[in-house]
Amino acid sequence: MNIKILPCVAFAGVMALVVMGTNSYAGDGNPTPALFSQLETFHGHVCAGSIFGARLGLAAKEALKEAGGTGKFTARYYDLSCPLDGIQVAAGTTYGNRALAVQEQDEHRLVLTASGNKRVVEARLTKKAEELGLKSRDLGKKAKALPADSSERVKLEREIEDIYSWLKTAPTGEVVKITHLSNGKGGR
């Protein structure tokens, strides 16, 4: 029996193995560029909020694993906004798997709980990360008000990209603060 594997089928199989085997962290302890590519596809665009969510979700997931969290992880986020998509991609806690809930309090705070032993971590943005997120939003508004070919708009867009780059690559401790909470304190 002579079996032929079409090149596109072979490529799809190899890519599936690569994606499944990809670690969310690069060797330097920062999230991988692949994570942010996946996030951009999922979210539909790049913004500070979705990057925040990915950084919060990944840091909380890793901290909960390091603390010995077992079982399914569930998340509660305290703002109905773009970070939710980053949390879904990075922490794997999604609306679809009923592992993500939102409690609207206009607060960038993620509480991640391990169902097996009720370990809980809280992830918040650092002051610097929050300030840069707000700055990128304000610069974006200014840029959109300018003509597309304006040199001032290009300059503002470059500054926004620099902020996004920092948010993606800065050491986790400069972007996210993790607090280990007592069992059962995740729903404040």
- pTM score: 0.82
Segment 85-107 mean pLDDT: 94
154 DSSP assignment: H
pLDDT band at 183 (very low <50, low <70, confident <90, very high): low
- pLDDT the model gives residue 30: 77
CA distance 99 to 90: 13
Burial 162-175 (b: 16+ CB within 10 A, else e): ebbebbbebebeeb
Contact assessment for residue 92 and residue 112, using Cβ atoms and an 8 Å cutoff:
no
- Which stretches does DSSP call E strand in the chain? 73-77, 100-102, 109-114, 120-125, 176-181
| 4-35 tens-digit pLDDT | 433 433 333 333 333 333 446 544 557 899 99
- pLDDT the model gives residue 182: 75
Going from the N-terminus, what domains does the chain have, and what CATH number goes with each? Answer: 30-181 (3.30.1330.130)
32 DSSP assignment: P
- pLDDT the model gives residue 187: 46
Contacts of 73 (CB under 8 A, 6+ apart): 61, 64, 91, 92, 93, 99, 112, 113, 114, 115
- pLDDT the model gives residue 36: 95
Find the range with the poorest average confidence among 25-39, 50-64, 116-130: 25-39
The pLDDT mean for the chain works out to 86
- pLDDT the model gives residue 123: 98
Which residue in 57, 38, 167 sits closest to 108, CA to CA? 57
Phi, psi of 110 (to 5 degrees): -115, 130
